Amino acid sequence: MRQRVAIIGGGITGLAAAHHLCEVAPQLDVVLLEATSRLGGVIQTTKKDGFLVESAADNFITTSPVAINLCQRLGLGDELIGTNPQGRGAMVVCKGKLEPIPAGFLVMAPSRIWPILTTRILSSVGKLRAGLEYFIPKRKQLDDESLKAFVCRRFGYEMFERLVQPLVGGIYTADPSRLSIAATMPRFPQMEQQHGSLLRAMMRQRREAGQAKPENSGGARYSQFMTLRGGMSTLTSALANSLPAGAIHRNSPVCAIVPEEQGRWSIRLAKGNQQWLDADAVIVASPANHAASMLASTDKSISETLGQIEYASCGVVSLAYRRDQIKHKLNTFGFVVPLAEHRLILSCSFSSLKYPDRAPDELVLMRVFIGGACQGGLLQLPREQLIQLAERELTELLDISQPPVFRDLTMQLQAMPQYHVGHCERVELVEKRLASHPTLALAGSALRGVGVPGCIESGEKAAERIANALAASNCEVCHS
């Protein structure tokens, strides 16, 4: 009989795990169990009235090749597109107005000095304090600290409040005073330890790059992002279509995973008369809280640790306007909003300016993000009020004269894992405990990496772990 591997969760992680398992161990019987009627998890592309609307991630970073490699293996290479080469950078709200993020400012630190000295975002005192980072000694303690504590210690509170907090908030929808620097931005504490100063490290990297073209915009390096011409659901649909017939089981929520003899598992399904499914190995690619519940009877330590991982929610409001209704130049890809501005949105992305074929001609499609860990109470408002809230903010900030011609709202409830201080230790504890369960693997955004490439890599590593474990157990049987 073929050995069976059950994969729990049909989001991007579970789909990537199932696909890769079929690649590396085609002899296995792969069964993917999804609790809902739809695959893809938070990734969902909708086409309405000529608009292409993304409900969650609308692209992925290419600094890791894992997502591009997967697309190419699926035959989607020709569908990959980069950001509009005519666009540049992002803006930040400062005293009610949109200001460009200083060129070369990369999420948490500047790589160029002159743009920081000339920006209107920071006061003279704030610029002086940021410049003193060059002389601040490195931290002697090597334990984890919050992102806020790290940035304030190195660059001062004003740079944190006006630049870092809104940029990080746009990525993680998190509270920076609780966010782990080691889990989210490990590069920066490593730079501190190696060079003593982030400014010194950035300048050294630029010198070593020689004649490399300097960054002419600030915020995210948009040239490093890509998407698919037909939207991100193109990827999840291709993954689902690549699996063997009968492998996918929708509307199949799992209640519990129970270990059996010889490393095998029984999976209790929460439908009908609580059916049971037997498997030789299991990959859990569900949110941490669901995984904690399923694994309660398997490993108390893993379950309790996963249960400590919190999630944040946000609302994504998609609005479209005629270009002639908007007086702002829209010469960037969007803007972020500091909490210090006391506004009611986190950020806004100009979707149809970043990528082609997102809106009909002469129309601009925008995505507005509301909520997150610091403003979660806003999501208690009725849907119509949330849409109106986003409209009011854009009308004021972008000087828009007429109502939108298109409106849409998606709620992403408990969708973003929060990597709070100590997250790395929690993940290490889980991985250490998994050594006792060689035919069990965990994957997903709750562990290492919230982006699409991180989820794909997590799923593929879980698939390889299970394939190797089953191959090793078969060898032991053959030699016994």
User: What is the domain range of residue 340?
Assistant: 59-64+76-87+311-417
Residues 114, 211: one domain?
yes
Residues 451, 396: one domain?
no
* DSSP helix, strand, coil percent of the chain (3-state; round to 5): 40, 25, 35
* Dist. CA 300–CA 218, nearest whole Å: 45
Which tokens in the block code for residue 396? 């004021």
Residue where one domain finishes, among candidates 388, 417, 446: 417
pLDDT tens, position by position, for the chain (480 residues)? 799 999 999 999 999 999 999 999 999 999 999 999 999 999 999 999 999 999 999 999 999 999 999 999 999 999 999 999 887 789 999 999 999 999 989 888 888 889 999 999 999 999 999 999 999 999 999 899 999 999 999 999 999 999 999 999 888 999 999 999 999 999 999 999 999 999 999 888 877 776 455 555 555 566 789 999 999 999 999 999 999 999 999 999 999 999 998 889 999 998 665 689 999 999 999 999 999 999 999 999 999 999 999 999 999 999 999 999 999 999 999 999 999 999 999 999 999 999 999 999 999 999 999 999 999 999 999 999 999 999 999 999 999 999 999 999 999 999 999 999 999 999 999 999 999 999 999 999 999 888 999 999 999 999 999 999 999 887 765 555
Residues 140, 110: one domain?
yes
Q: Could you tell me the CATH number of the domain that includes residue 174?
A: 1.10.3110.10
Residues 143, 290: one domain?
no
Q: Could you tell me if residue 109 is inside a domain?
A: yes
Name the amino acid, one letter, at 36: T
Q: Could you tell me if residue 402 is inside a domain?
A: yes
Residues 143, 200: one domain?
yes
Residue 124's pLDDT is 97
Q: Could you tell me the CATH number of the domain that includes residue 393?
A: 3.90.660.20
Residue 112's pLDDT is 85
In sequence order, which residues have a C-beta less than 8 Å from that of residue 422 and are 6 or more positions away?
144, 180
User: Where do the H-state alpha helices sit in 311-422?
Assistant: 351-354, 383-398
Q: Could you tell me if residue 225 is inside a domain?
A: no
Residues 202, 325: one domain?
no
Residues 360, 400: one domain?
yes
Q: Could you tell me if residue 50 is inside a domain?
A: no
Residue 466's pLDDT is 98
Q: Could you tell me the CATH number of the domain that includes residue 249?
A: 3.50.50.60
Q: Could you tell me if residue 226 is inside a domain?
A: no
Which tokens in the block code for residue 187? 């590069």
Residues 368, 406: one domain?
yes
User: Which residue in this structure is represented by tokens 């405990």?
Assistant: 433
Q: Could you tell me if residue 121 is inside a domain?
A: yes
Residue where one domain finishes, among candidates 185, 216, 247: 216
The domain tally of the chain equals 3
Residues 293, 323: one domain?
no
DSSP per residue, 456-471: HHHHHHHHHHHHHHHH
Q: Could you tell me if residue 443 is inside a domain?
A: yes
Q: Could you tell me if residue 343 is inside a domain?
A: yes
Residues 304, 315: one domain?
no
Residue where one domain finishes, among candidates 417, 446, 468: 417
The pairing of beta strand 254-259 with beta strand 265-269: antiparallel
Residues 160, 129: one domain?
yes
Residues 212, 107: one domain?
yes
